[in-house]
Amino acid sequence: MNSKIVPVLAIDGPSGSGKGTVGQLLAERLGWHFLDSGALYRALGIAASRVGEALLHDADALARLAVSLDIRFVPQPSGAPVRVILNGTDVGDAIRTEDSGRLASIVAAVPQARAALLQKQHAFRRMPGLVADGRDMGTTVFPDAILKIFVTASAAVRAERRYKQLKEKGFDANLRRLLDEIRERDARDAALTASPLKPAADACILDTSSLSISDVVDRIHGLLQERLAR
């Protein structure tokens, strides 16, 4: 079957915009598959750093590693982050740490690594549909998505959300440092030459700074129903 007929809902935006939770809740409500593309970059960063930090800066070796990466996602109920199985081992909380975010954004800046992960992302496009969460879902990976949403929130709101998340998990967190890290990561992601963080020309922009998760889910769900009915 031509995978192009499988509808894709692309949800892009910066870290902490809430797109991951929103995307997963939407996938659950719709009964669609879910792609957490950030987890692919995080897994590649972790796998590369396990071989040695030097690999992070070797474009060809990174691309080879990306192609050989055995990565599986196990969806969790109620918007909880998907479990990630990397080469047969559950990478558990390691995948959600600030350090894996840092590693992810280093490998994400390598065009060869991005190209190597494209096919893995396309493989998630299966019936009855796919909710794809990331930074370049609407611009590069699924340019023919039926609906493209670009979710934003101020850096201060995103840092606060991340702070609460970490505290709830019992991790140590420093709000000031998180805000600095978010600003640094935004700057790095916006400067990527291969896939800069920017909305697709035909994306709907949704600022979630003062919206609850369920408001955001309802709003996107409504927009999607309109598109599907066309």
Q: How far apart are CA 110 and CA 34, in angstroms?
A: 24
Q: Does 151 bind ligand C5P (CB under 6 A)?
A: no
Q: Does 208 bind ligand C5P (CB under 6 A)?
A: no
Q: Does 124 bind ligand C5P (CB under 6 A)?
A: no
Task: State the DSSP string of 116-145.
Answer: HHHHHHHTT--TT-EEEEESSIIIII-TT-
Q: Does 135 bind ligand C5P (CB under 6 A)?
A: yes
Q: Which is nearer to ligand C5P, 29 or 102 (CB)?
A: 102
- The interface with ligand C5P within residues 102-121 (CB under 6 A) comprises 104-105, 108
**H helices within the chain, ranges in order?**
19-30, 37-51, 59-68, 98-108, 111-122, 155-168, 175-190, 213-229
Q: Does 138 bind ligand C5P (CB under 6 A)?
A: no
Q: Does 37 bind ligand C5P (CB under 6 A)?
A: yes
Q: How far apart are CA 81 and CA 39, in angstroms?
A: 10
Q: Find the part of the chain contacting ligand C5P (CB under 6 A) among 54-62, 99-107, 149-157, 170-178.
A: 99-107
Task: Output the residue with the shortest Cβ distance to ligand C5P.
Answer: 38
Q: Which of 108, 112, 140, 121 has the alpha carbon at shortest distance from 12?
A: 140
Instruction: Tell the smallest beta-carbon distance from residue 199 to ligand C5P (Å).
Output: 13
Q: Does 185 bind ligand C5P (CB under 6 A)?
A: yes
Length of the chain in residues, anyone?
230
Instruction: Tell the smallest beta-carbon distance from residue 193 to ligand C5P (Å).
Output: 12
Q: How far apart are CA 95 and CA 39, in angstroms?
A: 7
Q: Which residues bind ligand C5P (CB under 6 A)?
A: 15, 37-38, 41-42, 101, 104-105, 108, 134-136, 185, 189
